[in-house]
Amino acid sequence: MMFSFLRTREVAVAGLILLTIIVVSCVNGDFFSGQNARDILIAAAPGMIVACGLTLIIVMGEIDISMGALMGLCAAVLGKLVSADHAALPVWAASFIVLALGAGIGLINGLLVTVGKVPSIIATLGMLTALIGVSDLVMAGSTIGNFPDSLRSFAIGQVGFIPVPVLVAVLCIVACVVLTRYTPLGRRMYAVGSNPHAARLAGLPVQRLKLLAFVLTGALTALATLISAPQLDVIEAGFGRQFELLVVTAVVVGGTSISGGMGTIIGSALGVILLSLVRTVLIFLQLGVSATYWERAIQGGFIIAAVLADHVGRKRGGHS
């Protein structure tokens, strides 16, 4: 039983995180500090939040690659709504609108996949392209600033010694862990991913379950925007671009099978922390402009390695 536990992807990713911290700290002693750990967790918080929803989507055999573009649109709308230079709405009202926008886009994605029978990769690719266009129209080639302090507190405030973004991410992770492990709804989602045909024969509402996962992911993407966009003094066009690559990579690296039916929220969260750690490591190694290219190359390598590991694991499982 202990050997089986040690072979889990979560333990492997956690071990890789620990090994990376030890090695880089030996090279640069400034890396191992409380402030640096705090910064890494704050940077990872939006990805961990969205990964909670994407894990459920991939577990059910679908995928969503529109999160980064949706984050960009949510940020643009949020800025226009709360900025004193624009609508100047109360923060609570603007936050509600942004959350509803995220859930609404998720609903459209879900309907395209479940009712329209469009493959999820195609549906969300089309949505990604459309959202980028709408975001550019909203931004109109300018930046948005002059935000109220109450909005900024979402991103830079803290409760006790815990930064608000980290606290929100932890609450989302706990809620989704409870959902997946201890509720009939979570077990049904995994059943759909393991064998959709058997799930339908068993009377499970497959379409509604998938629809719920897409709506949840859209709402969580909007929530991630609320705790990340106000970290900047201004919102610029292009906010959130390629965010979907980070989250998809993290979820797959964290042990969620791209074929569906297998994966955990904790594994996905650890995957996000690992990739956020890689970004910080590249900065500490002083690679300059090339750090961005190295980060993308490492992300791609992680995806290939994780998919190969998943394939080998399933092949061995089929022979056992």
Tell whether the model's pLDDT for residue 257 goes beyond 90.
no
In this structure, what are the phi and psi dihedrals at residue 159, rounded to the nearest 5 degrees?
-110, 110
Q: State the average pLDDT over residues 237-242.
A: 88
Cα Rg, the chain, nearest whole Å: 20
Tell whether the model's pLDDT for residue 7 goes beyond 60.
no
Tell whether the model's pLDDT for residue 294 goes beyond 80.
no
Q: State the average pLDDT over residues 136-154.
A: 88
Say what the pLDDT of residue 136 is.
92
Residue that is written with structure tokens 């490591």 in the block: 281
Say what the pLDDT of residue 94 is.
95
Say what the pLDDT of residue 85 is.
87
- Give dist(CA 122, CA 261) in Å, integer: 21
- DSSP three-state, residue 158: strand
Percent of the chain at pLDDT exceeding 70: 92
Tell whether the model's pLDDT for residue 5 goes beyond 60.
no
Q: Report the sign of the C-alpha dihedral through residues 308, 309, 312, 314, in that order.
A: negative
CA dihedral 304, 306, 311, 312 (to 10 degrees): 110
Tell whether the model's pLDDT for residue 142 goes beyond 50.
yes
- Give dist(CA 307, CA 272) in Å, integer: 16
Q: State the average pLDDT over residues 126-134.
A: 96
- DSSP three-state, residue 64: coil
Say what the pLDDT of residue 288 is.
61
Say what the pLDDT of residue 6 is.
40
Tell whether the model's pLDDT for residue 287 goes beyond 90.
no
In this structure, what are the phi and psi dihedrals at residue 117, rounded to the nearest 5 degrees?
60, 25
- Domain residue ranges in the chain: 38-240
pLDDT, tens digit, 9 for 90 and up, residues 90-102:
999 999 999 999 9
Say what the pLDDT of residue 145 is.
87
Q: State the average pLDDT over residues 188-197.
A: 90
pTM across the whole model: 0.91
